[in-house]
Structure 1
Amino acid sequence: MHSHRKPTSLLQAAAAVSGWLISGCSASIENPGLLPTPPMGFNDWARFQCVINETIFTETADAMVSTGLLAAGYNRINIDDCWQEDTRTEQNTLMWNTTIFPNGLPWLASYLKERGFHFGIYEDAGNVTCGGYPGSYGYEAIDAETFASWGIDYLKVDGCNVSPATEAEYHSIYLAWHEAFTNMSDPLIFSQSAPAYFSKWITGSDNLTDWYTTMDYVPYTGELARHSSDIMVYALNETSWDGVTSPWGSVMQNYGYEIKLARYQVPGYFNDPDFLIADHPALSLDEKRSQFALWASFSAPLIISAWIPELPEDVLSYLKNADLIAVDQDKLAQQATLVSRDDTFDVLTKSLDNGDRLVTVLNTGNYTASTNISVSRIGLVEEILGIKVEYTAKDLWTGKNIVFKDELEITDLPMHATAVYRISLSAILADLVKPTGLIWNDASSNCLTAGSDGQIAFDAFSGTDEQVWQIEPLVGTVSPLSDTSLCLTATNHQAILEPCAVVPINLAQQWDYSVSGYLMNRLTKQCVTESTQSSLGTCQDEIDSQVWALPVGVKVNW
């Protein structure tokens, strides 16, 4: 999506559908083989917006070959908005702008495929695209077949100009696209934008229920989804853009949305925090590298929006970092989640398909700083049979290995820079990893916090072990890292901390996590609730006070 106006009314859309468990074969959860790892490639929008022509795409493709970007995995070239004629043909099909694309899009598809690229395109769920060109409302099946006939296998569907602009209406339209793809012998990869139109960026509302509800269905209807604001475009620098005044602020805004949504990501469906703005003149090299490292840690789409023929070598070097690309393309597809956050550092972790553990450290401050991260925060055991475990971590920027016990030291990390380490684990050590990190509310950003008196609180980020929680994956107990002998326990409409039961297992200390964000007790069937009156309550329909982000690796019930 890329309109600064909110969706406006044009025509009444189709009736809303009920429910969101969808049949068919093209959606990601049902068919993860369609897009098993996140897409990598190029899109023109953030760099060029509507000022496009055929040469941009041919020269970009040639440059991606000659610079090694294609060989590194960037094998998609996608056209965004403004590629069309102003009206449909007499047969109600879309037509490319023959001035901008004199050889035609089928010719361009052949040009790209001969060089090893897939070809993608843009449309809109409403009657008119964000740029003012014909939308696809009511023409979903026709347009899907048209795009396929042109040699296109990837479609981004924006959400401008949907009327009425309700969650149910968006659901109905995106379901129509899903059904159109399901009826195709070779369905297109479906990039969705519906969630972004219910994020606080668009609505301005603190009530995020419609955002959560939209996120609930997009893993069933497509392969990836934009969930929040557009990244700042090249043409803007210090001008206000979607509530931020710098490209780094824009990167951090989208990062902030992304870290709330890890529970939705599975192999075949990917949360999309938008483009890599690799040549934005107001980003420092450290900031550009950070965006890339964070997106890779998320296993997010790596879609570059930059003038690739003129990218300098230092930018090309980080974009081709094989170790970080391997993290992004890891088959497990976990999205890194927050272990801790303080005034200077965000620490994130996730596991990789071979059992290794990833640690990503972002310096959000405005000065160079150092920190130490305990192995227990990383989710690792400190010792086995009384012997300290020695770990080896590879710095994914330098390629150098470091050996450590007890703590991983991060030394002199520059402002807005990101360190990334891959910790090698044996099969035994990998089996001992426990999901560890913050439990925090998606709406308020307050953290579940252990008190000294057995009570819990909902406090702002502090970076202390009282806010870092360890989950026992087999039994579902939840313990603060400050005292792992205590377990979160349901009693009298309150969640409190009591000594962990060993035998027999206490159901009041066992918890389940759902894709809706509920943390529900197995005994009482109540959900953890951020409230001044009660910390447990009847589970309701994704109300803000009951939607939580948990460490990745916790089992998510769909």
Structure 2
Amino acid sequence: MYSIITILGTTTVLLLSSVNALDNGVGRLPVLGYNTWNAYQCNIDEDLLLTTANLLKSLGLLDVGYDQLNIDDCYAEKNRSAGGDIVADAARFKSGMKILTDQIHALGFKTGIYSDSGWYTCAGYPGSYQNELRDLTTFSDWGFDYLKYDNCAIPYDEITREGIVGRYQRMAAAVVQVQQSTKNNPFLLSLCEWGWSQVWLWGKQFGQSWRTTGDIAAEWNSLANIINVNSFLTQATDFYGRNDLDMLQLGNGNLTFDESKSHFTAWALMKSPLLIGTNLSAITSETLSILKNKEILAINQDPVVGASIAPFRWGINPDWTSNSSFPAQYWSGPTQDGTVFMLLNTQDEPSALFFNLTESPWIRAGRQYSVRDLWTHTDNGTAVRNFTAYDVPAHGVVALLLKDVGDEPDGIYPQCSVWWQCIDKNGTRVGG
């Protein structure tokens, strides 16, 4: 599975030769947790991290699964040590990273950190190019177990002599070496590559998640664009590897309550990592209620089905065409407990959303289904052949779990819900 190679005559690494997902015991399910960047950017220190950990716990977010606390960019000194190591900012992390991670672990969390596949991080701090093994060893010694790996400040082609896959492969190889030397669980490697090189085709060779778009913004057009891009990439997501739609923006910017519900529903049901990017000290009860929706989280964390939901109808778009303002509206997918549907109103006004049940490939013809609303947390009767969600708010969402409860009632006419597709065994049409 592995071979020894030498890069640029100096650095010996392990080259991953497998083309399969990294089934290495970590990252089987999407990560739930917190990342510092969206709320604080470079304004971070050890006190903020400990405050955030305690808030995740006191607000009940740890109890529902948000157990990963990640430091993003700007934690380091601008220069490496004389020996070449990354050094944590002595003023902002005065106790040292190992003491900080020990304290965070003691509260029940796993910890993550950030680096870059180029000379510098996106904020201008030391990147890990040509220092992959050195840096990952440092991060391991500091007590981290997750690495977000970015794509800024890459070297000239005449230095790398390789494409973006090669630069991410270097860090993936370091993950293998550090695991072998420490005997700890392997690092969870999150590729922050932005989708420019079709990362969804190769990312799972090296990491457990990969960004598919540029950075998210806390407004509807950004959400719609990300949903639209990922509607065409859903087949890339499964256990141990998934599309990363970027951090959750709930409570930030100008998102309405309904847009926030749509944001969370789409991210969760597409099996994206769910990393909160909100200032928890100012979080509202409405935002907290969205983040703690256990029925939605249960599907994101489904231990039986790892696949994303996918569109079965593209709403106002002609089939299979891209529209960054009006992404697909009708989605479904299997779960361990039934078929989940996401009905997303991309219009700027309230709308009714109607579909025939068998438009979803996961629904059987001639059966009836109980309907569970995953936002109102109510059982809403039985659906036979079709379903209509009325008055879905602008940019709002309906999330349903349908379970097979037996044959549909006798005597329904026509004999097929999509009557023009069926014929009698003697060759005549059955309805119309």
Q: Which TM bucket (shorter chain)?
A: 0.7 to 0.9
Q: 2:371 matched to 1:393? A: yes
Counterpart check, 1:350 vs 2:333: yes
Which residue in 2 is equivalent to 1:492?
A: none
Classify the secondary structure of the residue corresponding to 2:402: strand
1:153-552 alignment runs, 5 A limit: 153-164=145-156, 168-183=162-177, 184=179, 185-186=183-184, 187-194=186-193, 196=194, 198=196, 211-212=197-198, 214-232=199-217, 247-331=219-303, 332-343=305-316, 346-354=329-337, 356-379=338-361, 380-383=363-366, 389-402=367-380, 403-425=382-404, 484=421
Q: Separation in 1 of the partners of 2:20 and 2:142? A: 23
What SS is found at the alignment partner of 2:358?
Answer: coil
TM-score computed with the length of structure 1 as normaliser: 0.65
Alpha carbons of structure 1 residues 396 and 30: separation in structure 2 relative to 1, 3 Å: same
Contact 1:46–1:231 (8 Å) recurs in 2:
no
Residue 376 of structure 1 aligns to a residue in which SS?
Answer: helix
Given that 1:287 and 1:417 are in contact with CA atoms closer than 8 Å, whether structure 2 keeps it comes out as yes
Aligned AA for 2:374? L
* Secondary structure class of the residue paired with 1:390: strand
**Unaligned 5+ runs, structure 1:** 1-12, 16-20, 199-210, 234-246, 384-388, 430-480, 487-498, 500-558
Deviation at 1:328, TM superposition (A): 0.6
Please give the secondary structure, in 2, of the residue aligned with 1:294.
helix
Structure 1 pair 120/341, CA: closer, same or farther in 2 (3 Å)? same
String of CA shifts for 1:111-170, please: whole Å, max 9, x gaps. 110110000000000001110011100010111111011110000010001134799421
Change (3 A) 1:125 1:485: farther
Cα deviation, residue 28, structure 1? 7.5
What is the SS of the residue equivalent to 2:302? coil
Distance 1:145 1:282 in 2: 41
C-alpha distance in structure 2 between counterparts of 1:128 and 1:330, whole Å = 37
Q: Give the superposition deviation at 1:299.
A: 1.0
1:69-101 alpha-carbon deviations (Å, 9 max, x no partner): 000100011011111101111121111111121
- Counterpart of 2:396 in structure 1: which amino acid? A
Aligned to 2:48: 56
3-state SS in 2 of match to 1:96:
coil
Query: What is the CA–CA distance in structure 1 between the aligned matches of 2:292 and 2:20, rounded to whole Å?
Result: 27
Partner secondary structure for residue 74 of structure 2:
coil
Q: Which amino acid aligns with 1:416?
A: H
Q: Structure 1 residue 96 and structure 2 residue 68: aligned?
A: no
Local SS of the residue matching 1:33: coil
Kept after mapping to 1: 8 A contact 2:22/2:204: no
Q: Could you report, residue by residue, the CA deviation over 1:429-461 in whole angstroms, capped at 9, with x for unpaired residues? A: 9xxxxxxxxxxxxxxxxxxxxxxxxxxxxxxxx
1:109 and 1:231 map into 2 onto residues whose CA distance is 28
Change (3 A) 1:65 1:251: same
Identity %: 26
* CA separation of 1:310 and 1:144: change in aligned 2, threshold 3 A: same
Structure 2 unaligned segments of length 5 or more: list them.
1-6, 10-14, 317-325, 408-417, 428-432
TM-aligned CA deviation for residue 197 of structure 1:
5.6
| 2:26 maps to which of 31, 34, 44 | 34
Correspondence 1:124 to 2:102: no
User: How far off its partner does 1:262 sit?
Assistant: 1.3
Q: Name the Cα RMSD after superposition.
A: 2.4
Decide which moves more: 284-293 or 417-426.
417-426
- Distance change in 2, residues 1:110/1:28 (3 Å): farther
Matches within 5 A, 1:54-93: 54-93=46-85
Instruction: Letter of the 2:343 partner, please give it.
Output: V
Residue in 2 aligned with 1:3? none
Q: Using the TM superposition, give the Cα deviation of residue 29 of structure 1 relative to its aligned residue in structure 2, in angstroms.
A: 1.4
Q: 1:484-511 deviations in whole A, cap 9, x for unaligned?
A: 579xxxxxxxxxxxx9xxxxxxxxxxxx
1:411 CA drift (Å)? 1.1
Q: Contact conserved, 2:368 with 2:404, CA < 8 A, in 1?
A: no
1:382 aligned counterpart, secondary structure: coil
Asked if structure 1 preserves the Cα contact closer than 8 Å seen for 2:16 and 2:172, the reply is: no
Would you identify which runs of 4 or more consecutive aligned residues in structure 1 move more than 3 Å?
Answer: 21-24, 164-168, 481-486
Give distance in 2, aligned partners of 1:38 and 1:400: 26
Contact 2:370 2:379 in 1 (8 A): yes
Contact 2:22-2:208 within 8 A present in 1 as well = no
Alpha-carbon offset, residue 424 of structure 1: 1.5
Q: Normalized against structure 2, the TM-score is what? A: 0.84
**Cα distance between partner residues in 1 of 2:134 and 2:399:** 45
Q: Report SS of the residue matched to 2:240.
A: coil
Cα 1:190/1:98, change in 2 over 3 Å: same
